[in-house]
Amino acid sequence: MTEQHEQHAHQFERGTDGPKVVLVGVDGSDSSMRAAAYAGGLARRQHALLAVVYVQPVPAAGAALGAPVMETADEIAEDLVTQIREAAERVRGIFEVRWEFHTYRGDPYHGLVAAAEELKADAVVVGASEQAGHRIIGSVAVRLVKAGRWPVTVVP
């Protein structure tokens, strides 16, 4: 092995092998907003795109209720975009993060899987479930980890 090759073999490459797209699922809960902050920091440090995803739930009863359910889900999505824009403005000039907001419809697990596949996510970040029933049937975070398709970070 040449001396030059030995030097390169021990040289650490900084910032070249990290994720290019960090996906974070948000739903307005405190844990999802903490997940968004964590994912934003990860995306900033890795110079990655932050893909913020809100999955609008479509309950079975929603079909019978019609427009009011969809309007409420749209309002939640608009509110989330407003919160994220305000947070981005507060740190403008200090921290720069490229981000996009995406909305999917359906159950949170399948919506996040579809988003991760479509956006070619390299990492997925979600907040820990705040619902007690998820300890029994499994949370979205646990299901994403079990899918084993992306590194998943669960933020408390």
Count, in order, helices (H) and strands (E) of the chain: 7, 5
What CATH code is assigned to 17-59+103-155? Answer: 3.40.50.620
Query: Among 93, 107, 4, 118, which residue's Cα sits nearest to residue 60?
Result: 107
Tokens of 102: 């995406």
Distance CA 24, CA 33 (A): 9
What are the beta bridge partners of residue 123? 22
Query: Given this model, what pLDDT does residue 16 score?
Result: 55
pLDDT tens by residue, the chain, 156 residues:
555 555 545 554 455 577 899 999 998 888 988 999 999 999 999 999 999 999 987 765 545 555 555 666 677 777 777 777 776 677 666 777 888 889 898 899 999 999 999 999 999 999 987 765 445 446 888 899 999 899 999 998
Q: What is the pLDDT of residues 40-52, one digit of tens each?
A: 999 999 999 999 9
Tokens of 39: 């994912």
Task: At 53, give phi and psi (nearest 5°).
Answer: -120, 125
Query: Among 35, 29, 26, which residue's Cα sits nearest to residue 108?
Result: 26
End-to-end CA distance of the chain, in Å? 48
Looking at residue 153, the DSSP 8-state letter turns out to be E
128, 29 contact by CB (below 8 A): no
Q: Tokens 């359910």 sit at which residue? A: 69
Query: Given this model, what pLDDT does residue 131 score?
Result: 64
Query: Given this model, what pLDDT does residue 136 score?
Result: 46
Distance CA 82, CA 85 (A): 5
Query: Given this model, what pLDDT does residue 23 score?
Result: 96
Query: Given this model, what pLDDT does residue 97 score?
Result: 85
